[in-house]
Amino acid sequence: MSFDDTTARRAAFPVDPAFVERWSSRALSGEAISDAELNTCFEAARWAPSGFNAQPVRFVYAHRETPEFDALLSLLNAKNQSWARRSAALVFVLSRTDFVFNGQTVEVGSHAFDAGAAWAAFAHQAHLLGLSARAIGGFDRAAAPAALGLTANFAVHVAVAVGRRGPLHDLPETFHAQEAPSARRPFETFVHEGRFRGEP
């Protein structure tokens, strides 16, 4: 579904400007970011809502120009590697699918939902720091668990490229047309009172 770009970044109701202004860039400068900046994003994620306070979200990250970064980058598909190699850090968002409650190991039914909440907090904090954080779904999902050192009770959701925005000419040309804030579904098409009324 496409939307009218003239209203793409206008809120229908009053919200903090950060929610509307944040967008995910692929054009990144390659400039390093500090541990303090990255840790501030992780700290924001730590305070995200969590069902039963299970806090299942986990992160695995690496800074650019380290062997660990190269290993994480190699998990991405070739198209995503072509631009994500200029990120300052790569982060994988994971969640633990169970936790111990009253001495019993129980499933966390909301583990993916909670990871999404943590990612949103991370992304908005990155924006507030003047950084871009773009989630990446195109990676080797079969190889990722072993490469990240995970056991079977962890799920891998997305990779995230974090960095400072760079000039368009440093981005592969195939992405140039997409390098802009994206539209959003009109408010009335996704909020339903009382009962879901179907898609327009």
Domain residue limits, the chain: 35-166
> Each residue of 29-54: b (16+ CB within 10 Å) or e?
beeebeeebbebbbebbeebebeeeb
**CA nearest neighbour of 87 among 141, 131, 139:** 131
Tell me the pTM: 0.93
Residue 6 pLDDT: 44
Among 3.30.390.10, 3.40.109.10, 3.40.50.170, 2.40.37.10, what is the CATH number of 35-166? 3.40.109.10
Residues in the chain: 200
Q: What is the DSSP letter of 181?
A: P
* 112, burial (CB in 10 Å: exposed 0-12, middle 13-18, buried 19+): middle
Specify the pLDDT at position 9: 82
Cβ partners under 8 Å of residue 85, min gap 6: 73
Q: How many Å apart are CA 57 and CA 112, to the nearest integer?
A: 8
User: What residues of the chain score a pLDDT lower than 70?
Assistant: 1-8
Contact 55, 160 (CB under 8 A): no
Q: What is the pLDDT of residues 108-167, one digit of tens each?
A: 999 999 999 999 999 999 999 999 999 999 999 999 999 999 999 999 999 999 999 999
